[in-house]
Amino acid sequence: MSPTLSQQLDALARNLIPAALGIVLVLLSTIPYSLPAFGPVAPNLVLMAVFYWAVFRSDTLSPITVFLIGLLQDILTGAPPGLNAAILVLVRIFAVSQNRVFRGKSFMVLWFGFVIVGLSSAFAAWLISAVYHMALLDPSPALFQAAMTVALFPFLVWLFSWTHQKLMPQG
């Protein structure tokens, strides 16, 4: 039995959730919180989302989508356009190629994988920015951001897996 139009639209909408969530997280991470406890450096919410969906539902987050989300992040934050786009595409490659390692294992394995992703993308961002600005930049803000991102990962994963189970039951 072929699905009706409304079922197809429904499935399409559900498959667009990761991309939409990615855009929302880009926007959320550009909000000026300026709470003293938060500091000027905000956690990289988009990185967590791309990693999660690439591991569990890479079919719903194509490389082009990841690229565009990264580009949006670059443009809105004023980073060199292409920096986060490239990093997120590379993170997707890593997550998809290693998804057997992470799927169905304990959360600690996933978290450990994300520590690697967080640290390597911080290093990549630092390296690319240094070349872009032709200056030796202080890497500590990137490390601080990576630490904060890794620390907040469990909360975001909880949110993503809730979305995943409630709104995207077929995957």
Partner 1 sequence: MATRNGTRASRQAFGILGRLHRFAFLFLVMGATALMILSRTDNVIVDRVSVIVIDVFAPIMNILSRPAATVKEGVETARELVRLRQENIRLSRENERLLSWQESARQLAAQNEVLQSLLAYEPPPGARHVTARVVGDSGGVFVKSVLVNAGTSSGISKGQAAVTGSGLVGRVTQAGHRSARILLIIDINSRVPVLIESSRERAILTGDNSRHPKLSFLPGNAAIHQGDRIVTSGHGGVFPPGLSVGRVAIDESGTFRVEPFAGLDQLEYVRLVDYPRVETLPGPGKTRRASTVPAVP
Residues binding partner 1 (CB under 8 A): 27-36, 40-42, 63-64, 67, 70-72, 75-83, 85-86, 89-90, 93, 125-126, 128-129, 132-133, 135, 137-138, 141-142, 145
Q: Which is nearer to partner 1, 141 or 154 (CB)?
A: 141
| CA–CA distance, 158 with 148 (Å, rounded to integer) | 16
Give the sign of the dihedral formed by CA 68, CA 40, CA 133, CA 150: negative
The nearest distance, CB 28 to partner 1, in angstroms, is 7
Q: Which is nearer to partner 1, 32 or 104 (CB)?
A: 32
Q: Which is nearer to partner 1, 126 or 160 (CB)?
A: 126
In 10 A of CB 130, how many CB atoms? Answer: 14
Half-sphere exposure of 124 toward its Cβ, with a 13 Å CA cutoff?
Answer: 16
Q: Which is nearer to partner 1, 77 or 165 (CB)?
A: 77
The nearest distance, CB 118 to partner 1, in angstroms, is 12
| Angstrom distances, CA of residue 44 to CA of 1, 2, 28, 60, 110 | 43, 41, 10, 21, 17
